[in-house]
Structure 1
């Protein structure tokens, strides 16, 4: 059976000599994996570029009642990026966020609200010319609500992270008092993101570290976020 759907590429792995297996979050079918043949041939042009992180696609895909990996019948770009591929800061942020989505969104079923949020956020990010240094923080805070564990305040994030660290007996675990300085920043990011007064990259990285720990409390086996090191390096200033 063929289904027409929009899709958001999460990642891909190489498969055999010239093919890939792409993990894509689809509007109609949730998270799916597809074999895409011959996209790594020398004469395949820019087709492999269509399977980079968070690329937006229009597709016609095969489905099977048995589930598992299927194939894409047709695909094309639904929105050609105008800035992301040419800005190392933006591409690093997008790579990190695609990994976070890949590790947290698992369902193989339709979720119109979540899909719309992801799709519109990616386009908005591509269109931003300036003022996007907090985008990944705002994105993760908003995504958490779609995943069912969104915080109501900065204090909620801080308290959960601090108390969980101490309960686990973590060495040098931060206290609630030590983390309280971040409460206001989280509140600003949730309520007035465009006016969030985060002073520098160091504080931004610390906020992200706390936020990832918050995710780890709510997402089973979140695991190591491999793209985090690259993002931290690129956004070090």
Structure 2
């Protein structure tokens, strides 16, 4: 029986000559993997564009057994991006966040609150013309809550990163460096989108702090490949 659902593209890999295997977080079925044929053929550029990270889709799909590959019967973009493709800062943020979600969201079952959070956040980000400097930081804090390790205080994050990251952060100097971020993380937790952070350096250090916090709580999260690119783009 076919299932009609909304979906959020997370990633894809090439498959055979012209096909892909795409991972999509769906509203009705959770995380699913689909084979999509003939999207990498010459002249199919517009079709492969529909499977870029965080593209929002309306789909009709074939259900699968747990962890099995299946196929999409129909698909179309539900909300074409208006700003993201034309702003290197926005596209870099979106690429980073899609990698984080792809590595942390693994459930193959319906989770409507999480889906609605992701869907709403992507739409809101695309609509923002300015004032999105802290968006990725706020997104990480909110996502952590949906994943079950929400942040209650800045001190909690700093303590865990300093003393539980496999011994790598146990030096006194490292703890002092992290503690310098505590007022900024507190500001972020209290005011979220309205938080005032002084510069790109502070944002970059908070970003690395939160990524390390995720690495403590998500098994085999590993290296986030898009992190250096985002750090460079947002360095000012």
TM-score tier by shorter-chain length is over 0.9
Gaps of 5+ in 1: none
Gaps of 5+ in 2: none
1:21 aligns with 2:33: no
Tell which deviates more after alignment, 67-76 or 179-188: 179-188
CA distance in 1, matches of 2:2, 2:162: 49
Q: CA deviation at 1:105?
A: 0.4
Aligned 8 A contact 2:62 2:72 in 1:
yes
1:181 aligns with 2:180: yes
Residue equivalent to 2:221: 222
Q: CA deviation at 1:194?
A: 3.0
Q: CA deviation at 1:177?
A: 3.4
Paired positions, count: 236
TM-score of the pair, normalised by structure 1: 0.95
**Greater than 4 Å deviation, 4+ residue runs:** 169-175
CA distance in 1, matches of 2:40, 2:125: 28
Alignment of 1:41-80 (within 5 A): 41-65=41-65, 67-80=67-80
Residue equivalent to 1:9: 9
CA distance in 2, matches of 1:7, 1:60: 10
From the superposition, tell whether residues 170 and 66 of structure 1 become closer, same or farther in structure 2 (CA, over 3 Å): closer
Q: Deviations over 1:8-48 (max 9, x none)?
A: 00010111111111000000111111001111111224011
Q: CA deviation at 1:176?
A: 3.6
Q: CA deviation at 1:168?
A: 1.5
CA RMSD, Structure 1 to Structure 2 (Å):
1.5
Q: CA deviation at 1:196?
A: 1.4
Paired residue secondary structure (1:21)? strand
Aligned 8 A contact 2:8 2:57 in 1:
yes
Paired residue secondary structure (1:17)? coil
CA distance in 1, matches of 2:213, 2:34: 31
TM-score of the pair, normalised by structure 2: 0.95
CA distance in 2, matches of 1:169, 1:91: 32
Residue equivalent to 1:107: 107
Q: Deviations over 1:36-83 (max 9, x none)?
A: 111111122401111001000000011133641100000000101100
CA distance in 1, matches of 2:169, 2:118: 34
Tell which deviates more after alignment, 23-32 or 197-206: 197-206
Tell which deviates more after alignment, 169-178 or 136-145: 169-178
Paired residue secondary structure (2:180)? helix
